[in-house]
Structure 1
Amino acid sequence: MKTSIWVAVLCMAASLPSQAQILKPIELKDQELANLRGRYVMPGRIISFGVVMSTTWQNAQGDLIGAKASLQVQQATLKPQFYVSTFEEKTTTTAQPQTASTNTVTSPNPGTGTVTGGAGLSTTEGVTQVVRAAGDYNTAYNNVDINVTKANEAPAIQTQGNALAANTPAVISNEAGSMSVTSSGTGVQMNIVANNNQGSAMQRLAQGGLMQNTTLLGAGNRVTNLTSLNVVLRENVPTAGALSGSLDQLKGLRTPGF
């Protein structure tokens, strides 16, 4: 082997660390992470943002109670406002001839299940979805949708229901249970307490987090917690000026003399 190659190999070996930690990972400081940039949306690109929350409870007899809260914010919106609409369905008994058998609608059997623990659920951050069941033949569904569309102008604001006043809950009740929707300075919360110890459902959007929590203690219940986040982006058609600015930035990356 030529002497020059040996000299090059020896020089490279001498330059290596003694413990051969060539790619040792290091921890980045918060100040350095704050300067990193990921995906973002340019100012003025979002022309509409909306939230729709709904919570329903249906017991084994078919009695249903629920509510929907919606919020839509646009550039012309002065004050964001939640609107609430409630809904309920009750089972009915159809009269039958005396000679025929009569179907009697009765209340569900009281729930006898027991659920323990879960104290830390009130301190979680981000999106938390919980289903705890201590009964049979129940159905529980938690879901969050994020829908992003594009348009040339913001859609028309559609309000359904009554405006939800701060710290004044909207409350309804029927054979299925009681429903309350509350708005405060930190967010919106929907609660259902089912009758006959069947359980409870809660959905909360507050302080940058979303909680969907269902507890089932009886049998044959159907519960849903749904939240949809709807974002409309303005159609971004590049103009001649924007394209020229992008080309000028690329010129600085060209190797001199190329």
Structure 2
Amino acid sequence: MKKRTWCLPALLALSLPLSASEIFRPTELSDSELAQLRGRYVLPDRIISFGVVMTSTWENAAGQVIGAQVGMSMSAGQPQPVLYAMPIEGAGNGGTVTAGNGQILGGAGLDSVRGIVQSVRVAGDGNQGENGMEIRISSGPSGDMPSGAQAWSNGQVWSNGAGTVRLSSQNGGLAIAIQASNGQGIANQQLGAGGMGQHSAIGGNLNTVRNLASLDIRLRDLSRSVDLRGCLDQLRVLNPTR
């Protein structure tokens, strides 16, 4: 878990311009952790692009969906990373939503914890809550931005029958906050300021809430001939011609 905590903010901080680098602050690895990384590296020219994607969604009992995706992508040759945002919405099935009356108390201390913090608190029935993080490594051409993505702007807001989602840059990081309608609850996800938080508090019934984050790395394919040339070059260094 320590490795994942370091990898996400550290890679981003190295790629961001100075004005944005405060969003992601790297954490120094100990000698014992570095010892475990020997031999596990990727040559810089193999990395085509990498980025971080945060997605938060809320689906209520009527199938209405509100949410957002926030991403940062950095490709080879780009002078600086690109931040984008995309609304996520669903019309639902026309059903009714019973007003939530569950009360969730406490939890204020979760906002002050450093590192990675996840919580799902429920005071209703038939709800599903999910928090997840992953590192995805793939090869091939760099992927395009999702269809419908917009340039990042602090304070972007989207609303529909399911609730309201607000994007913001706060506490040195990026955040997605969802306020569900009819007292169903709240959800938020934030990255930066030395950590990541994923939380949901559900006071209604039959809701599905998801906070997902991923670090995406794309590597350039290497042909067998390129690998063979590299091996031969290293053999020549080990056994120089006399």
Under a length normalisation based on structure 1, what TM-score does the superposition of the two structures give?
0.68
1:187 matched to 2:173? The reply is: yes
Match of 2:41 in 1: 40
- 1:64: how far off? 1.7
Aligned-partner Cα distance in 1 for 2:169–2:90: 25
Q: Which runs of 4+ in 1 moved over 6 A?
A: none
Q: Offset at 1:118?
A: 4.8
In structure 1, the residue matched to 2:214 is 228
The verdict on how the C-alpha distance between 1:31 and 1:130 changes in structure 2, with shifts beyond 3 A counting, is closer
Paired residue for 1:98? Answer: none
Q: Distance in 2 between matches of 1:89 and 1:31?
A: 46
CA contact (8 A) 1:68 1:84 kept: yes
Question: What secondary structure is seen at the aligned counterpart in 1 of 2:101?
Answer: coil
Partner of 1:49: 50
- How big is the shift at 1:50? 2.4
1:150 and 2:151 are equivalent in the alignment:
no
Other structure's SS at 1:40 match: coil
Give deviations 1:69-116, integer Å, cap 9, x for gaps: 2332111112212221213234576xxxxxxxxxxx544223222232
Counterpart for residue 231 of structure 2:
243
CA distance in 2, matches of 1:90, 1:67: 15
User: Hey, what does 2:87 align to over in structure 1?
Assistant: 86
Gaps of 5+ in 2: 1-28
State whether residues 111 and 196 of structure 1, in contact with CA within 8 Å, keep that contact through their aligned partners in structure 2. Answer: no
Identity percentage of aligned residues: 33
Give the whole-Å Cα distance in 2 for the aligned partners of 1:229 and 1:33: 24
Task: Work out the CA distance in 2 between the residues paired with 1:239 and 1:163.
Answer: 43
* CA distance in structure 2 between the partners assigned to 1:141 and 1:148 by the alignment: 22
Give structure 1 stretches of 5+ with no counterpart.
1-29, 94-104, 252-258
- Structure 1 position 244, deviation (Å): 4.1
Secondary structure class of the residue paired with 1:172: strand
* Residues matched between the structures, number: 206
User: Which AA in structure 1 matches 2:66?
Assistant: I
> Residues 141-180 of structure 1 correspond to what in structure 2 (within 5 A)?
141-151=130-140, 154-155=141-142, 157-158=144-145, 160=147, 161-165=149-153, 168-180=154-166
**Over the residues paired in the alignment, what is the CA RMSD in angstroms?**
3.0
Per-residue deviation, 1:130: 1.5
2:101 is the counterpart of 1:115: no
Partners in 1 of 2:80 and 2:113 — Cα distance? 29
| Contact 2:104/2:121 (8 A) holds in 1 | no
Corresponding residue of 1:4: none
Q: In the alignment, residue 142 of structure 2 is paired with which amino acid?
A: P
The change in CA–CA distance for 1:162 and 1:243 in structure 2 (over 3 A counts) is same
CA–CA separation in structure 1 for the residues paired with 2:194 and 2:135: 15
What is the CA–CA distance in structure 1 between the aligned matches of 2:228 and 2:171, rounded to whole Å?
A: 42
Quickly say closer, same or farther: Cα 1:204–1:217, change in 2 above 3 A. Answer: same
2:182 is paired with a residue of what secondary structure? helix
In 1, Cα distance between equivalents of 2:82 and 2:170: 11
Taking the aligned partners of 1:175 and 1:45, their CA distance within structure 2 comes to 45
Distance in 2 (alpha carbons) for counterparts of 1:174 and 1:211: 25
Shift of the alpha carbon at 1:200?
Answer: 0.8
